[in-house]
Structure 1
Amino acid sequence: MSEPKRSAMRVADSDRENIARVLYEAMGAGRITAGELETRLDAVYAAKTFAEFEPVVADLASGGALALSHPGDGEQGGRRSFAVMSATTRRFDGPLPPRHVTRAFWGSVRLDLRHARIADGSCVIRAVAVMGGVRIVVPEDFALDVRGIGLMGGFGSGRGTGRLRPTPGAPVLRVTGFAWWGSVKVIRKPAEPRRRSHRGRG
């Protein structure tokens, strides 16, 4: 990270998740506290360049942990939801942002998308579960592309997600990320009758 050109490079969302993984593992090993984790994660997700990662992990990881992502991985401007030793439920009613990041650490996040819509053809949700769980409930007309990594955990789609074949041109929900001693699951459920509900704000 000492090369000026590399330090000045803009980071991608996948680069932020690489650093977040280092922090989660450090917390699991007892090297940092829950408060330190939250403070450092705030810095990671606010970072614009690789130079801003250096003070966050200087006492935890070698430069190898700050590897560049592949070109095209880094769509900027995601919205977020998270749970740290707690449970969070978010219900979206209206257009989804193009990209959403959700994190669960020793807790759970449930995203209910049954009354949401994908305005621009596709939406990417990056889900990270560390000793916790993320459950994403989707409507029956979304096409799904679920690709993630389970490390001593599970990442995938639940029962019912393959029983329907959305029509060609259906909006696509892509779910990526990883689960470490936790789980990320995508399930289909019929939409409930509309009622007054909390709107998710990213």
Structure 2
Amino acid sequence: MTDDPVLRASDADRDRVAAVLGEALATGRLTSVEHADRLEVAYTAKTIGELVPLTRDLPDVSVSAAPATVEQQTIDSTFSKTIRKGRWVASRHTKLSARFGALIVDLSEAVLPGREITIEADACFGKLIVRVPDNARVIDEGGSTFGKRSVTGGSEGDGPLIRIVGRSTFSKVIVSRAVTDWNLA
């Protein structure tokens, strides 16, 4: 990473900072809240100057010792109701699976790693609801068989691009910005 604070930050620059923050969390130098706060700033930073203060008080981590960014995670609900909300760290590829159950995922306060993430929304005889951030751009590339699929959000907004893929069979998949029609409690 260059030292010029006015240069635009790349995804690789953001990922290097995320690796240092991840190591600091793993070694107890940062709390989970501090980690989430700094990680959010890192992934929304536009310049190198915004990234530098995030790791100034942390030891350097060599590239080979740095933990990899979580590229994929799975959130599953089978014969149950699962809710993920509040402040949490999503991955670049998050698989959501609802089988004979309900899965509710709120991304509005989640830390999103980068400018584009993919949500694989798979449901079978279940219900899957995803709330996206207000400024997100949403692209639906999934499908449905004997079910309902409602993906709203559009391509406007200056926030992250959230790509929705996957299939629903005899299920309901709803992806939206609004929370007025469903309860996260």
TM-score between the two structures when normalised by the length of structure 2 = 0.54
Q: How far apart in 2 are the matches of 1:86 and 1:130? A: 13
1:113 to 101, 104, 107: 107
Q: How far apart in 2 are the matches of 1:155 and 1:147? A: 11
SS of the residue 1:97 aligns to: coil
2:170 to 181, 193, 197: 181
Q: How far apart in 1 are the matches of 2:136 and 2:115? A: 10
Instruction: Compute the RMSD of aligned alpha carbons.
Output: 2.1
CA gap of 1:121–1:179, structure 2 versus 1, over 3 A, is same
TM-score between the two structures when normalised by the length of structure 1 = 0.50
Runs of 4 or more above 2 Å deviation: none
Could you tell me which residue of structure 2 aligns to residue 165 of structure 1?
156
Q: How far apart in 2 are the matches of 1:112 and 1:86? A: 17
Could you tell me which residue of structure 2 aligns to residue 149 of structure 1?
143
Q: How far apart in 2 are the matches of 1:99 and 1:135? A: 17
Count of paired positions:
110
* 1:111 CA displacement: 0.3
1:82 aligns to 2:76 (yes or no): yes
Q: How far apart in 2 are the matches of 1:119 and 1:77? A: 9
Q: How far apart in 2 are the matches of 1:99 and 1:113? A: 13
Could you tell me which residue of structure 2 aligns to residue 104 of structure 1?
98
Q: Structure 1 unaligned runs (5+)?
A: 1-75, 191-202
CA contact (8 A) 1:148 1:178 kept: yes
CA contact (8 A) 2:79 2:101 kept: yes
Could you tell me which residue of structure 2 aligns to residue 32 of structure 1?
none
Kindly provide the CA deviation profile for residues 78-105 of structure 1, in whole angstroms up to 9, marking residues without a partner as x: 2011111110000152542111111111
